[in-house]
Chains A and B, each alone.
Chain A
Amino acid sequence: MCEIRSPKDEKADSLQPKNLQPFVNRKPETRDQKPNIMKITREDIIHVADLARLEMDEDSIRKFAVQIDDILRYVETLSNVNTEGVQPTTHAIFLTNAFRDDEEKQNFDRDALLGNAPEKENGNFVVPKVVG
């Protein structure tokens, strides 16, 4: 597998540009306005990968930064569309809430569901230590 590097890796930090604006404050801009500024930087990739519980080696970070930047620039074409007053769609079919009676029933056998667990004990999933 690839080399695992922590997002907090010192070497990675040293490559960050100085005076980086806080991640949350930077607003997307179109390519026309700022042709030389990446929409997504390697620092963003590291931050977002951390949120998504992913680790990446330096090569993948660099590659992703370029590829995802391309994709986000393309996505920027959406800023040409006037969406003032347009309701967002999250679901293409009109459906109201699907209710059912709150009846107790056993859908699955506990052991069958635990059958795929990487580690289990006494009918429970086992995970590594959570707090030290």
Chain B
Amino acid sequence: MKLYELTIKEAHELLKKREISSQELTRAVLDRIAAVDEKVGAFITVAGESAIAEAKLADKAIGKGDIRTLTGIPVAIKDLICTKGIRTTCASKILDNFIPPYDATVISKLKQEGAVIIGKLNMDEFAMGSSTENSGVKLTRNPWDLTRIPGGSSGGSAAAVAADMCLGAFGSDTGGSIRQPASHCGVVGLKPTYGRVSRFGLVAFASSLDQIGPLAKDVTDCAILAGAVSGYDPSDSTSVPRDVPDYSSFLTEGLKEVKIGIPKEYDSTQGLDPEVSSAVMNARKVMEKLGGKCVEISLPNTQYAVPVYYVIAPSEASSNLARFDGVKYGFRDKEKENLMDMYRSTRSKGFGPEVKRRIIIGTYCLSAGYYDAYYKKASQVRTLIMEDFRKAFEICDLILSPVAPTPAFKIGEKADDPLTMYLSDIFTLSANLAGIPGMSVPCGFSSGGLPIGLQLMGKHFSEEMLFKAAYNFEQATDFHKRKPEI
């Protein structure tokens, strides 16, 4: 077996037995990146030198018998999570030259666990998009079909994991940005409960929705990565002081008595591909065979998730992105001689079209005379969406649904039609609006050989339930074992 193909758990066992070193593993992954990333385009920055230095430190620690699950494991990071000394661009021209002077809390935690940071991954600019086509840096292609998008906004993260260019990755999810690319690339992705993982050092898009989470080759690795970064952080006032269960201890057999909610509205969703629908139906049968009990639930306000999201997210973004003004960091148009001209020119040249579109929608929705009709109305409907979930979870433990209505679409197919692109987020947005955890697990392939993902959603802070269900599903199927040929 090639070292870069290992899962985290497998690599950890070999490192523990000293059958391989972290340096060998890290070099194998760097070689893999050199071999295939020209085609895939997942990385914005490959941090080869510092990764090797970190691998040496890991080997030293292992030599002394000090090994944790992530010691010496190469992981890659979406380029909107601050990494001290490694350029963090948000795939935007406006942060093209930004080198963070500090590590995000998730990065400090990963370093404490001994992980090796191998590089920074491509994404839609400021995480705004569902295809990674909005990157201001480069195009990322789906490893399963290079003419298709990898999903987004964490497209680089999903593609890198699928193409074995890292053993695991981190992304961020504001409306499906971890789950949808995970689904399109055939990997496992988790959006944790809002407040579960510190957002300190995550460049903010929509602060009431953003959450950092892992993308991994299987459920076991996903649980390892989630456990490593979860927990309260005094530096993030929205992180929740609550103990983190040992997620790996929930990876045991048996779904008996687990009640799985099937939303009655989802199957009639417009634009739901029949192959996706049948893969999800099949997953439901697998869950039932494993002992799960399916119950019909109703989420009547889910149909409003897209309009609610596309008011709330741009509104918060228009406020968050006000900080990019050419003063403290990033790009500045130095030609301009007065402050206001400098602001305007810097922002106009620095931001790409989708970011500008959302800033304008957000500013409009928050502006005088429109606030009640748009922002307040959307925030009220958000309450109703949360209420739907609260009621549903009175009769079920988790909810099963598709992740995306179709498999990965062609590059350029929706590029000129933002509304159609937004509609592809229909199944994932509501978890962010309600703050609940959501997970994507491979559950099938289309007739064209494209991966299809299954979404599991749970109550606030019930990640362990998602891991347990996903683990059981994975044990009963072998979709996660297929690899793309690049």
Contact = CB atoms under 8 A, between A and B. Distances in A.
Interface stretch (B36-44, B214-222, B344-352, B478-486): B344-352
Interface residues of B, number: 77
Given A60-B353, A128-B339, A128-B342, A87 B380 contact: yes
B379 A54 contact: no
B364 A117 contact: no
A91 B433 CA distance: 9
B327 A125 contact: yes
Contacts of B349: 1
A77 B99 contact: no
A28 B371 CA distance: 11
A92 B364 contact: no
Interface string B192-203: 011100000000
B298 to A, nearest CB: 15
Given A68-B360, A118-B330, A128-B339, A27 B419 contact: no
B331 A118 contact: yes
Contacts of B99: 115-116
Contacts of B338: 128-130, 132
Contacts of B382: 88-89
Given A78-B304, A89-B386, A71 B361 contact: yes
Nearest to A23: B369
Given A93-B195, A118-B326, A67 B418 contact: yes
Contact of B344 (A45, A55, A89): A55
B330 A116 contact: yes
A12 interface: no
A15 interface: no
Interface in B433-479: 433-436, 460
Contacts of A67: 357, 418-419
Contacts of A56: 348, 356
Contacts of B373: 27-28
A51 interface: yes
A110 to B, nearest CB: 10
Contact of B238 (A48, A70, A93): A93
A1 to B, nearest CB: 5
B330 A83 contact: no
A52 B378 CA distance: 21
Interface in B232-265: 234, 237-238, 240
Contacts of B433: 92
27 contacts: A48-B363, A52-B322, A52-B360, A53-B325, A54-B356, A56-B348, A72-B361, A74-B307, A75-B307, A75-B378, A76-B307, A79-B377, A81-B301, A83-B377, A86-B381, A87-B383, A88-B380, A93-B238, A93-B460, A95-B195, A116-B99, A117-B327, A117-B329, A118-B330, A125-B328, A127-B342, A128-B338
Given A54-B344, A74-B310, A86-B380, 15 more contacts: A28-B374, A53-B322, A53-B343, A53-B347, A55-B345, A60-B356, A64-B360, A67-B419, A78-B377, A83-B380, A92-B436, A113-B101, A116-B99, A116-B328, A128-B339
Interface of A: 1-2, 4, 23-28, 40, 44-45, 48-49, 51-56, 60, 64, 67-68, 70-72, 74-79, 81, 83, 86-93, 95, 98, 100, 108-109, 112-113, 115-119, 125, 127-130, 132
Interface of B: 97-99, 101-102, 193-195, 208, 234, 237-238, 240, 301, 304, 306-308, 310-311, 318, 322, 325-332, 334, 336-345, 347-349, 351, 353, 356-357, 359-361, 363-364, 367-370, 373-374, 376-384, 386, 418-419, 422, 433-436, 460
